[in-house]
Structure 1
Amino acid sequence: MRATLRWAHADLRTHRGEALFLVLATAGIVVSLLLAAALFGYATNPWQRTFSQTHGAHVWIHTDSRTVLDGLSVLDGVEATAGPYDTAATSLSVRGTRANVELRATPSAPAVGRPLLTAGHWLDPTTPDGVVLESRLARALLAGPGDTLSLPQGHGQLTVVGIAETAEARYRPGEQPGIVWALPSAVHHPTGQIIGLRLTNPAETGYAVQRAVTALGASAIGEVSTWQQARAEAQGDNRLLGQVLGLFGCGALMAAGFAVHGAIATRIRGHLRDISVLKAIGFTPSQVIRVFLLQHIAYALIGALAAVTATEALGGRVTGRLGDSVRLWRVLPGHTTTQLAVPAAVVLFIAATTGLAAWRAGRVPSVPGARPVFVNGIRQARASGTRTSKRLPVLMRQAFEVRVPAPLVLGLHATLARPARSLATIARLCLPLLLITVALSAWTTLDRFHRDPERIGVPAALTVHTDNDLDDRDVRALLERDPQVAAAYPGVEVAALVPGQTATIALRGLGIRGSSYPYTLAEGRTARTSDEAVAGQGLLDLLDVRVGDWVRMTVGDQPQILHIVGRSIEPENGGRVISTTLDTLRENDPDLSPTLYQLRLRPGADPSAVAHRLAVAGRGHLDVNAATNPADELSSLRGVVVGLILVLGLIGLVEVLTAIGGMIREGERDLPAWKAIGLSQRHITAVTMTSVSCTAFAAYVAATALGTPLARWLIDAQGRSSGIGAGIAQDPPVLLLVLLGVATVLGAAAVAALPAARAARRRLADTLAAVA
């Protein structure tokens, strides 16, 4: 054991930098995987915890105010109900901020779907105008207990008495109204009803919705929302961040494993004499294997422990959702298990790759055979029986004839003369570079979505909702009067029942013939004639249809049959949206009037300034909101990408150091011949630098060729799974890829300069002794 420790200590002193990089790379991998686990827990568990604590309903059904809902409580599979409650759609404003809301008449705290109070108290009959706000709505209004909210057109005021969490779909400006719980006396003019169903078997949600629609009649249904939709919305981009971290963490783990394997294999080739000496003095093959195995397991353990310590000590202090996810993850039941399992899995994986390479060390004979030597760039096999390549010397002579510098020729030949080893090195270095290319593609996609929102299906900068006091002509004249409004597209959005009556989708009519809405299409074409529409990927998946199919849906008691002629990039409602023109919807309902307007602004216009002017000009009749860009919610992904690139860069650096060590050891056999033909120390240094640069360049070319299409496929696959749809991926700019290649090649050459110069300064007697 003492001899083993002394050997490990001597090896550590010789390869300090490589050991440090292995520790840092392992730490980065473990941190990435731990943060991925935290984000997955943060994405799922908060909603699940809220749903459990509030005894949430699995289905919420909106109907008109005349429908009798008592029969739903006796349907097969319904365990309990919440409500029915009268509802009224209105808006609330405070300190200049306005939001669309749903007032829900709640006489007492419900047993199913009961709000979870986080501030203030529940409704009290002593405060008849008191209301409880859903938490996201309260944050949007910057309102808290004690604040006064104004109803539109001077219809009164409401007082906030509490803030509550709910497992239902939460407030989204311009898309989902916020929930406001109020006493029945505060809901003066109900316009509808809502009832919640808690099911005995949540897996049968679709069947339960179908039975409820059959019992009530399709014409009575306004909207149906399920627990799966609420959960998917709550998870949102947190789950995407977790997937990104998990994907890159696993990829980095594979790259690190291959790097460790290559490092040990190269070191074994360079220490054949030392290993033979160890065996000659009594070391068994198992002891030799144990030397390498324990040494690299120690590196992995140190890196894993450092990662766990850093995550626990600093993870909760990070601002944003990463810090929130780590703080919440600490109190979840599976925290301790995951915190132990992830580092253990990483250490075991590195141990497996280490053991495979160390096994080769155990097979080294006690008396090593003679090794091949390079003389003047020509490989001659000594005592090996291999044949000399005839093609490379011809190419070398031709290169010398055209006066190609000798270091360049010899360096390139040193790479090509050992194809198996060179290809293995290129493959190991290619993997981190490939992942870096994928990360740059993700960065570029996000950046272009921020700069060009129309690429992700958000061509309009503002959304305007109106009340019934202004007609379409007056609203359009008011909007188009603003000098910075380029176009105003009138529209309406209603909930429609899908075939089978198991869910509702968003049916949208935007624009009129001659002024069609500029949808971002990934497939097909725009709607040109009557009954044509474009649909999001989420709707195509829900209905199992494709572009070119006809779909039938129900709006109230009116069927609507549309021909899908295109697939649009649709970030809203999980892509479960079908869009046509307003004229098409008016064919079924001639009295249909626009309730919203999508505004495109002129280049350079300030959306907030335009929104303020329009709100003032509307005199309380217009609700103007900035269009939501999904890329804004993924801004924290930029920091994640930077961190992953650093980790992958460390792994690539480890592989470059391994390649340099192997090339220097191989070059020791050629050093006497190079000096004999008159090469200076600077020329010999340039040979090694050229060989390393050629290897790095080949790895970069392979990584770029494979990484760019892989990144496009991964990003589009994520777009399809989220409902947005494929066609959103953007390739990195050519200049960025060129800079990556230049940094890779020049970085490899710079790292190789110092060890190559040291090797070139070795005395000839030492070199001959090393290769003997």
Structure 2
Amino acid sequence: MRAALRWAHSDLRTHRGEALFLVLATAGVVASLLLATALFGYATNPWQRVFTQAHGAHVWLHTTPGADTGRLGGLDGVESVAGPYPAAPATVASARGTRASVELRGTADRPAVGRPLLSAGTWLDPAAPDGVVLESRLARALLAQPGDVLTLPGTARELTVLGIAESPERRYRPGERPGLVWAAPSAVPDPGGQVVGLRLTDPDDTGYAVQRAVTVLGAGAIGQVATWEQARAEAQGDNRLLGQVLGLFGLGALLAAGLAVHGAIGTRIRGHLRDISVLKAIGFTPGQVVRVFLFQHVAYALLGAVAGAALVQAAGTLVPGRLGDAVGVWQGLPGHPVALLAVPAGAVLFIGATTGLAAWRAGRVPPVPVPRPAAAGGGRLSALARGALGLRVRGLRVPAPVVLGWRTAFTRRTRSPATVARLALPLLLIVVAVSAWTTIDRFHRDPEQIGLPAALTVRAEAGLGDADVRAMLERDPQVAAAYPGVEVAALVPGQTATIALRGLGTRADPYPYALAEGRAARGPDEAVAGQGLLDLLQVRVGDWVRMTVGDQPQILHIVGRSIEPENAGRVVSTSLDTLRQNDPRLRPTLHQVRLAPGADPHEVAERLAETGQGRLDVHTVTNPADGLSPLRGVVLGLIAVLALIGLIELLTAIGGTVREGERDLLALRAVGLSAREITAVTVVATGLTALAAVLTATAVGLPLARRLIDAQGASSGIGAGIARSPSPVLLLALGAGAVLGAAALAALPASRAARRRLADTLGAVA
């Protein structure tokens, strides 16, 4: 045991840099995987907790006022029914001037199904008929607190905020989905419909239950369907995406770290064949030799894993933004201790397995010292190398270090490709990470290319004509265009879900949809659809789809696939003219406003609200990239971890090249090469190896990044076609930095080896 510890200590002193980088890389990998676990828990748990405590409904139906909802309680699979509650759309404004579209829902008592969870204030009080309770997300948007007074623009009514509550229903989204306001039935004097919730015995039968409810009530009686899956997906939102990114890169980095350790041990074994033979000659068994390497590198991995876990546990909540919140919530979950132990243990076991595979070769070294084997292709120069030495390009002879460096880098038939592959893996993941960064930047810089050509959504109060609204908007110097439109909820074929049917622009002035497939909708009954809708209906571009708006059918020809960041891509869009042809009763209810380049949407929104004198409800369009801002810090951290892993592999490759070049020192000096030229041979060999890895990583990483990003876009409903590759300048800078850094890193050990004494060189060759 003492001899094994002395050997491990001696090896640690010789390779301090590699040991430090391995510890840091393992810590980064474990931290990434733990943060991914925290984000997954954070994405699912808060909504699930609220749904469970609120005894949430699995289906919410918005029906006409006269629908006989009492029949729903007798349907098979329906456990209980919430409501019906009278409901009416409205617009409320806070004293701070903030407006929001809301749904006033009348309820006399606190419901048992879909029970709101009060987070501040009190529930409705019969003594305060104008008192209301706001859903928490709506309250944050209005900057409202218990005791504040809300007004209904255009009326003399005022509502007093009594409380704020959490709800598992679909959340408020400015300009897209109204917020939820619970009020006394008397505060909803003219309901436009009613809302009923269904709690099911089997949540997996949601689609069937919705179909049965539509059959019982009639398609014309149901205006909108909202399910618990939709609410959960919205609540998880970008947190789940961040968790997937961290998990993917964490696993990739763990694989790269394991391969780097495997390569480092294999190179070290080849460099210490004589020492291992001596250890066996003095009594070490093959198992003891294997255990020396295994113990040493598992100790490094264990130290890094403990450091990474301790860092996340102690300082994870201090990370600003969503990551810090996620860690705080995750630390309070029941499965937190198990994950905190399982993730580092899994990382250590994986690195230990790769270490064991490499160390097993050390156990097979014979106990009798033998001369170190010559490298494949070593000894005599190949005909190609001999020809290159005499080659002249434009009168200049190719330098000998270039030819010999090429030979050193690529004549080892097995080890050279393996070295390039191990070094290319972290570089490939860096290319994917930079591609993700570039895609997010594109969302911010060019929102019109990802389905957000309009920066503002404007809704006018009743009685204000379309022509008046457009004239008011177009008078603003920073408004480039205003497109009238309408958005209604439509039942899909099979009547199991609702989608958004949108009519924007006219044939004379079409709305500039961002198309990823097909063509724009120009003729009658033509439309474009998001990926989420195509997946939901299992149709493709070129198919016809039928949907129902109330009792009015709409049959549209899908001629293109648009990039739709809203409503999980479950949107079908056509021109306002087409919808009017099918239903002349439709009138514009909103305007999508496109701004001039460089205009600030918030400033223009405030100016338009002042111009409208309270008659315009103006909202900025939410950019999905805003929720992905934490991903930038994640990408930087991942790049740093991957760079450490690449550095480990690079140090291993340099060490192997220097050791194997020791046998050629005498020959190189004999043919007249100076110490500087001999150093250049190793530097060129390292630079060429790094160049091959960079080219491989770029060639494989760019298409892989596009596929991964587009696959994520398709799964989220936005659709493929959003990925963008980094600029050639950035890729060239990354590649040049990697190659030049590798050459600079190899210069010092190569210079030391080239200046060794002849006696030392003879001893190494023997």
Q: By the TM > 0.5 criterion, same fold?
A: yes
> Is structure 2 residue 456 aligned with structure 1 residue 472?
no
The residue number in structure 1 matching 2:211 is: 210
Per-residue deviation, 1:198 = 0.3
Per-residue deviation, 1:418 = 1.5
| Contact in 1 for aligned 2:377/2:412 (Cα 8 Å) | no
Cα pair distance change 1:399/1:267, threshold 3 Å: farther
d(CA) in 2 for partners of 1:202, 1:373: 68
In structure 2, the gaps of 5 or more residues are none
The residue number in structure 1 matching 2:388 is: 395
Greater mean alpha carbon deviation, residues 494-503 or residues 178-187:
178-187
Greater mean alpha carbon deviation, residues 673-682 or residues 319-328:
673-682
> Is structure 2 residue 663 aligned with structure 1 residue 669?
yes
**2:263 aligned partner, one-letter code:** G
Note the alpha carbon deviations across 1:157-187, whole angstroms, 9 max, x for none.
Answer: 1111111111000110001100011111222
1:246-265 pair list within 5 angstroms: 246-265=247-266
The residue number in structure 1 matching 2:672 is: 678
Matched residue SS, 2:391:
helix
The residue number in structure 1 matching 2:718 is: 724
| Contact in 2 for aligned 1:129/1:182 (Cα 8 Å) | yes
The residue number in structure 1 matching 2:234 is: 233
Greater mean alpha carbon deviation, residues 637-646 or residues 337-346:
337-346
The residue number in structure 2 matching 1:67 is: 67
Per-residue deviation, 1:678 = 2.6
Note the alpha carbon deviations across 1:729-764, whole angstroms, 9 max, x for none.
Answer: 001000000000011001111211221122122111
1:259-658 pair list within 5 angstroms: 259-372=260-373, 379-380=378-379, 389-398=382-391, 402-658=396-652
Note the alpha carbon deviations across 1:599-634, whole angstroms, 9 max, x for none.
Answer: 111112221222122112222221111111101110
The residue number in structure 2 matching 1:171 is: 172
**1:245 aligned partner, one-letter code:** L
d(CA) in 2 for partners of 1:731, 1:390: 41
d(CA) in 2 for partners of 1:134, 1:679: 80
When normalised by structure 2's length, the TM-score is 0.98
| Contact in 1 for aligned 2:274/2:370 (Cα 8 Å) | no
d(CA) in 1 for partners of 2:411, 2:131: 83
Matched residue SS, 1:512:
coil
Per-residue deviation, 1:416 = 2.1
The residue number in structure 1 matching 2:6 is: 6
Give the fraction of aligned pairs with identical amino acids, expressed as a percent: 72
d(CA) in 1 for partners of 2:286, 2:5: 16
Aligned-residue CA RMSD (Å): 1.4
Per-residue deviation, 1:394 = 2.7
The residue number in structure 1 matching 2:146 is: 145
d(CA) in 2 for partners of 1:467, 1:169: 25
d(CA) in 2 for partners of 1:290, 1:396: 46
Residue-pair matches, total: 764
Cα pair distance change 1:335/1:378, threshold 3 Å: closer
**1:323 aligned partner, one-letter code:** G
> Is structure 2 residue 733 aligned with structure 1 residue 734?
no
| Contact in 1 for aligned 2:131/2:162 (Cα 8 Å) | yes
Cα pair distance change 1:594/1:572, threshold 3 Å: same
d(CA) in 1 for partners of 2:519, 2:648: 50
Per-residue deviation, 1:548 = 0.3
Note the alpha carbon deviations across 1:672-712, whole angstroms, 9 max, x for none.
Answer: 12222232222222211111010000000000000000000
**1:524 aligned partner, one-letter code:** G
**2:597 aligned partner, one-letter code:** P
| Contact in 2 for aligned 1:372/1:379 (Cα 8 Å) | no
| Contact in 2 for aligned 1:129/1:159 (Cα 8 Å) | yes
d(CA) in 1 for partners of 2:754, 2:132: 81
Greater mean alpha carbon deviation, residues 310-319 or residues 757-766:
757-766
d(CA) in 2 for partners of 1:589, 1:18: 72
Note the alpha carbon deviations across 1:250-290, whole angstroms, 9 max, x for none.
Answer: 10011001000000000000000000100110111111000
Greater mean alpha carbon deviation, residues 179-188 or residues 578-587:
179-188
When normalised by structure 1's length, the TM-score is 0.97
Per-residue deviation, 1:373 = 5.5
| Contact in 2 for aligned 1:213/1:221 (Cα 8 Å) | yes
The residue number in structure 2 matching 1:695 is: 689
The residue number in structure 2 matching 1:105 is: 106
The residue number in structure 2 matching 1:24 is: 24
> Is structure 2 residue 40 aligned with structure 1 residue 46?
no
**1:43 aligned partner, one-letter code:** A
| Contact in 2 for aligned 1:399/1:409 (Cα 8 Å) | no
The residue number in structure 2 matching 1:80 is: 80
d(CA) in 2 for partners of 1:23, 1:131: 56
**2:385 aligned partner, one-letter code:** L
**1:408 aligned partner, one-letter code:** V
**2:62 aligned partner, one-letter code:** H
Per-residue deviation, 1:480 = 1.4
d(CA) in 2 for partners of 1:364, 1:284: 11
d(CA) in 1 for partners of 2:155, 2:51: 36
**2:454 aligned partner, one-letter code:** A
Per-residue deviation, 1:472 = 1.2
Per-residue deviation, 1:369 = 3.2
